[in-house]
Every structure is written in structure tokens, then in C-alpha cells.
Copies of this chain bind each other. A is one copy, B any other.
Amino acid sequence: MSKTKSNPQTLSSVRNALRILKSFSTFEPTKRVSELAESLGLAKSTVSRLLATLASEGFVIKDEKTKAYKLGLSVLTLGGIVTNNFEIHKEAVPVLNKLVNDTGETAHLAILDGNDTIYIHKEECNHPVRILTHLGRRNPAYCTSSGKVLLAFSDRETVEQVIENGLVKHMPNTITDPDELRKELKKIREQGYAISTEELTEGTRSVAAPIRDYTGKVVCAVTVVGPIQRMHDHKIQEIAKKVVRAAEDASERLGYDKRYFRQLGK
């Protein structure tokens, strides 16, 4: 029964239920019994029962007509609680709002989790043409602007871990050479922001800058994402400035004292 690495003290039925939940995505928002049975290597009867249990607690919803399942509202409620737990949130949201108004593009807050960045907040712009992202969205760190910023300001091991994990070429622009990535991170540290142009997703460009807490530690990144047409080379510097400014504002609100740390020569 050990598919990935079944820790000794974990319950397989529960793990299977959680795997079912995790198998949903923006691109496959509905799932059916046999599909899941296939992909998880379980009997149809087992999946059917697991789904019934998940449904009874509101974690999935069954469309009685098509017999397809989608994620339920319990999941939404829990997500909201998580969001509320991040203190960064309270301080950074107003700043993010302003940034969206100033740039006209969608902005996010992102943190690092393992080898990925995760959007912990999203502030949508009004443009009819929008990039498809969502709260909680998980992207590989090495090929997104927010991820690169967070990596640039994290310890060596984290970076090496990401490299060891493999730099997959998603797009022509994806950085796949370890040394090139290290150089890129150095550059980001120096200039104070990161840009990513079609490194993960076609047609999109993003800019990110680090938010620091009162200890000077980078805890989060602000990032603005948009279609490359609207993120022209001649506009990108302007946007970058605004992103950096927003990040500095948010940092200040978290008690970060720029001058103090400059004095320290950091």
C-alpha cells in the first residue's frame, strides 16, 4: 500500500480521501468515480465510499444528474480561515489594492512552500483580459517572479533543494541551467525585484518584490501579473518601481525599518 512513502502512523483511508480532494484542480474541477479509481489505483467501490463520506461533510458536492463530483463549500470555509491567519494579510491588503489601481494589473501576495510559491492573496484588476490564477495557486518557484524573489532572499539550502528537484523547461524562456539560476538570483538580490517573462506560462509577464518583517526577514512577495502586451519593455521599469514601492510600504507596516538595516550594511 506504500505508493509514495506511507509514514508508519498514517491512516490509508484518510490519506486516500485527502488524495481525492487534492486531485481536483482549476483545469479539472469535476471528477468521476472510475476516473479517480483509475488514477489513484483503488477499487471503484472504495472511491465511491470515500466520496460519499466527503460529500456527507460538505467537502465535495455530487451532481446527482451527471454523478460528477466537485469540491464543496466546506473547503471554501476552511480556505478563508487559513487566509485570515496570515498576519501579513491585514497589513498588505490595502497596499495591494493601491498597487492594482496604480498598475491596472492583478496583484498577488505569495509565500514559499517547499519548492513552490503559493498565492496567499489575490487582488484582481478590471481589465477584461485577465490571467487565470487563483488563491492558493501553486507554481514552481524557479520560473515565476515571486518564486525567484523569495528564493533570492532565502538560504542557500533552499535554492539548492529547488535545483536538485529539477529545473523543468516549461517554456523557451525557462531557466534550466543551475548556474544561470544562481546568477539570476544574485541579480535579483542586487536590483531588489524580479521579472519573469514567459518562463512558465505563455503570454504572461510578472514582476515581484520582497516584503520584510520587523526582523528584516523576507516573509512574502508582492507580484503583479499581466499579459506581455500590457507589460511592455518600456513600461516594465515603471511597473517594477511601483511593485518595489508597494513591497516597501507593506514592509514598513510590518515594522521593518529600512534605515536601520541600511545602517547595518545589509
A contacts with B, residue count (CB < 8 A): 57
CB of A7 within 8 A of chain B? yes
Q: A7-B52, A85-B29 given as contacts; is B137 within 8 A of A77 (CB)?
A: yes
Residue of B nearest to A111 (CB): B73
8 Å CB contact of A81 from B7, B17, B71:
B71
CB of A201 within 8 A of chain B? no
Taken together, the copies of this chain in the complex come to 2
Residues of B within 8 A of A24 (CB): 78, 81
* B81 and A15 contacting across the interface, CB-CB below 8 Å: no
Q: Helix, strand, loop or mixed for chain A's interface?
A: helix
Q: A73-B136, A137-B80, A138-B77 given as contacts; is B120 within 8 A of A14 (CB)?
A: no
**Interface flags, A6-46, vs B, CB<8A=1, else 0:** 01011101110111011011100100000000000000000
Instruction: List residues of A whose CB falls within 8 A of some B CB.
Output: 7, 9-11, 13-15, 17-19, 21-22, 24-26, 29, 48-50, 52-54, 56-57, 59, 70-85, 93-94, 97, 113, 118-120, 122, 124, 126, 132, 134-138
